[in-house]
């Protein structure tokens, strides 16, 4: 079968995107390359021939990989080839997945795999937006059922002005970074961070993005008309039309009563009992076979889930009530604590209803920084936030298999929320790691991690600029009606239409994320959501500040003490010494735990006590100090000869006290007045032509007496 080729050019800020198909990966259902400048991404989409009958979810998989050859580099490490996905690759895969997932038909159970491969990188244009556009374009022109296309843009803000699709360099100057994906009538996904940008400016950024992404979306519609395949006829999940009514009959109206139980665990127990009772006799469903096949238990569960969906939404729209009895803008009970663990550098416990995060801070030195290898090159990260979600947090009995994509994504969102209020390296030269342990979960544990993380940082004495908090806003729709919900529970996330997370300080927004189960929401809904989130955030911040108003003035006694000193670059070698000998000596003699020196001569000294760090600081200052003739120094005898004693009067610097310079009286045997280890004051009396330094003990004593 011949493959049609085609290409379109798409305006992309000040640049132009080139989308091409028909040349590469021709055995996929569809494949496109998206090019911007010197960055090229290949996106291939494939669909399985048959649907899966034994599952109750859409099996979509999105893979994103950055080939290091794309930037002209060989991978670091032992194996010298790409291995497990990096954090950047995982997060980018999620950003591609989230906007396209709601756009497949309901009941579509064929495997769909979207594979995005970065083939070339110019170090200027980020391939993530190109990958979203490529995924949309490939699905749109393929025979895979897809209700797109979508447009995607990145928006920055430099000096108060919106910048469309900024380069890496422009993003360094930007106070806001928004990735926005949308359809013709609404936005479907947002991922962003900001430096306490006021809400009106964030909304302005969303409006700007929504307008600009339409051009990209419309060009894909043209591309589909030019080159697109007819959509394949696929088997959608299609149970017997009366199966839902039968399951509803068997619930006997009990769902309405169960969904008035406020406690999550009790409510779930009653739901499980009811479902088990229904599934206990599958013979009652014999009349509801399709194609003469037995009715799978999974189909019954899906109908039960549908009934739950209706019940939750009916409570909200008909009775203006949520499952736990709250109003639409009510926040669950809040509790904040700090210093909950005795030996950590900082800790806190934040509870919002049945969601609870234990956050722990560890302060490290420069050598604890995380080395990040990416297409842009090597970089070093001095702030990390790791999110853990053990099964017991939702009462499940299963083991841990390490962090998955969800945990990495939630941790990254919380990190974005906090990163903007951290002090600079110059003001606080520590590597900071925050770990959020989710101990209970019933809605928006990532935003609980923001609150707990902020509290633990203040407890650790990290001088943050402003406290931050986060909240999730949900949405339920019914025709033209919609209702925003503050602080959504797990069931409202599951049965609702939106999860809109906004984090920030009282000054402005620091992180924002939107995920939908429907195909887009109007800007008006999001604008209202931003304001509703602001009100809730202020309430949460007040609760947090009631236990600690500002960061502690000193760090934990168990944390390393770091001092910084700037030395001349030509003195770096003297401080390091041959093979690091001098640094080792300083650490041994002062108790310093680490000494790191940057190329510009900045020295970072870490110790477990202030006394040790000051000793090491004095030692380094002594090494770089220029000896001054006539100055008096504290000296230590390191060697005794018959003609005098060699003394160290500055770190690494020795001079000779001749026997005649020990005393005004005649010294017959020098060993009677000096031995190795003796300490006394000396005066530098001469630096001769051979740079030898001559010292005098008697002259120093005479001046001290005066």
Helix/strand/coil (H, E, C) string of 476-490? EEECCEEEEEECCCH
Q: Say what the pLDDT of residue 688 is.
A: 87
Q: Which CATH class is domain 561-624?
A: alpha beta
CATH code of domain 632-705: 2.40.50.140
CB 75 within 8 A of CB 54: no
> Of the candidates 244, 263, 257, 264, which has an alpha carbon nearest to the alpha carbon of residue 305?
244
Fold observed for domain 243-319: Arc Repressor Mutant, subunit A (1.10.10)
CB 290 within 8 A of CB 107: no
What does the domain layout of the chain look like in residue ranges? Answer: 6-157+195-227, 243-319, 334-545, 561-624, 632-705
Q: Say what the pLDDT of residue 546 is.
A: 96
Q: Say what the pLDDT of residue 574 is.
A: 85
Q: Say what the pLDDT of residue 330 is.
A: 94
pLDDT, one tens digit per residue, over 70-117 is 999 888 777 888 888 999 999 999 999 999 999 999 889 999 999 999
Q: Say what the pLDDT of residue 705 is.
A: 65
CB 639 within 8 A of CB 675: no
* Spatial strand order in the sheet of 30-36: 6-12, 15-21, 30-36, 39-51, 110-120, 60-66
Same fold, 6-157+195-227 and 334-545: yes
The CATH architecture annotation of domain 334-545 reads 2-Layer Sandwich (3.30)
For the chain, list residues with pLDDT below 70: 1-3, 292, 705-706
CA dihedral for 191, 194, 197, 201, sign (positive or negative)? negative
Looking at residue 102, the DSSP 8-state letter turns out to be G
Q: Say what the pLDDT of residue 287 is.
A: 83
Strand-pair partners of 384: 433
Helix or strand (DSSP H, E) at 163: strand 161-164
Domain 6-157+195-227: which CATH number of 3.50.50.60, 3.30.230.70, 3.40.1160.10, 3.30.450.40: 3.30.230.70
């Amino acid at each position: 079968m011949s493959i049609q080729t085609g290409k379109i050019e798409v305006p992309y800020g000040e640049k132009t995107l080139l989308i091409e198909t028909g040349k590469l990966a021709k055995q996929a259902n569809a494949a496109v390359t998206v090019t911007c400048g010197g960055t090229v991404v290949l996106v291939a989409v494939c669909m399985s021939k048959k649907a899966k009958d034994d599952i109750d979810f859409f099996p979509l998989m999105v893979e994103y990989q950055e080939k290091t050859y794309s930037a002209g580099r060989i991978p670091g490490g032992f194996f010298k080839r790409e291995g497990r996905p990096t954090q950047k690759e995982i997060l980018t895969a999620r950003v591609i997945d989230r906007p396209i997932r709601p756009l497949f038909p309901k009941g579509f159970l064929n495997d769909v795999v979207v594979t995005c491969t970065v083939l070339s990188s110019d170090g200027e244009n980020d391939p993530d937006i190109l990958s979203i556009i490529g995924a949309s374009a490939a699905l749109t022109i393929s025979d895979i059922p897809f209700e797109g296309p979508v447009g995607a843009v990145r928006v920055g803000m430099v000096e108060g002005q919106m910048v469309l699709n900024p380069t890496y360099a422009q993003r360094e100057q930007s106070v806001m970074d928004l990735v926005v994906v949308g359809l013709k009538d609404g936005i479907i996904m947002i991922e962003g961070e900001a430096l306490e940008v006021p809400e009106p400016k964030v909304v302005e950024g969303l409006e700007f993005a929504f307008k600009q992404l339409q051009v990209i979306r419309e060009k894909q519609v043209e591309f589909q008309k030019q080159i697109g395949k007819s959509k394949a006829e696929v088997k959608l999940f299609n149970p017997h039309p009366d199966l839902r009514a039968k399951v509803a009959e068997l619930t006997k109206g009990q769902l309405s009563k169960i969904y008035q139980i406020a406690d999550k665990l009790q409510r779930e127990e009653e739901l499980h009992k009811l479902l088990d009772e229904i599934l206990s006799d599958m013979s009652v469903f014999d009349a509801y076979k399709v194609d003469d096949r037995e009715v799978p238990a999974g189909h019954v569960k899906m109908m039960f889930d549908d009934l739950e969906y209706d019940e939750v939404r009916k409570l909200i729209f008909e009775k203006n009530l949520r499952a736990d009895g709250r109003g639409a803008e009510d926040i669950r009970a809040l509790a904040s604590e700090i210093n909950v663990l005795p030996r950590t550098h900082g800790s806190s416990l934040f509870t919002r209803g049945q969601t609870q995060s234990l956050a722990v801070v560890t302060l490290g030195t420069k050598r604890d920084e995380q080395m990040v290898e990416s297409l842009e090159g090597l970089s070093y990260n001095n702030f990390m936030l790791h999110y853990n979600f053990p099964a017991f947090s939702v009462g499940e009995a299963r083991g841990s298999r390490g962090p998955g994509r969800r945990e990495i994504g939630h941790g990254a969102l919380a990190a974005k929320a906090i990163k903007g209020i951290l002090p600079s390296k110059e003001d606080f030269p520590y590597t900071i790691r925050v770990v959020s342990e989710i101990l209970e979960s019933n809605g928006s544990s990532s935003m609980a991690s923001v609150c707990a993380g902020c509290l633990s940082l203040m407890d650790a004495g990290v001088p943050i600029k402003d406290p931050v908090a986060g909240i999730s806003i949900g949405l339920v729709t019914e025709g033209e009606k919609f209702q925003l919900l503050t602080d959504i529970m797990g069931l409202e996330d599951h049965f609702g239409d939106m999860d809109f997370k906004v984090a920030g300080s009282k000054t402005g927004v620091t992180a924002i994320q939107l995920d939908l189960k429907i195909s887009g929401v109007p800007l008006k809904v999001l604008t209202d959501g931003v304001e509703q989130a602001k009100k809730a955030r202020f309430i949460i911040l007040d609760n947090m500040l009631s236990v600690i108003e500002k960061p502690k003035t000193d760090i934990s006694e168990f944390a390393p003490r770091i001092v910084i000193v700037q030395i001349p670059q030509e003195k770096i070698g003297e401080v390091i010494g041959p093979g690091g000998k001098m640094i080792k000596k300083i650490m041994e003699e002062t108790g310093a735990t680490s000494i790191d020196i940057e190329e510009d001569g900045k020295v970072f000294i870490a110790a477990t006590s202030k006394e040790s760090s000051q000793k090491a600081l004095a030692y380094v200052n002594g090494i770089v100090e220029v000896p001054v003739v006539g100055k008096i120094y504290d000296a230590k005898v390191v060697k005794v000869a018959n003609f005098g004693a060699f003394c160290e009067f500055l770190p690494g610097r020795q001079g000779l006290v001749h026997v005649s310079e020990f005393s005004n009286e005649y010294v017959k045997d020098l060993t009677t007045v000096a031995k190795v280890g003796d300490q006394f004051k000396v005066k530098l009396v001469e630096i001769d032509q051979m740079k030898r330094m001559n010292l005098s003990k008697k002259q120093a004593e005479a001046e001290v007496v005066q």
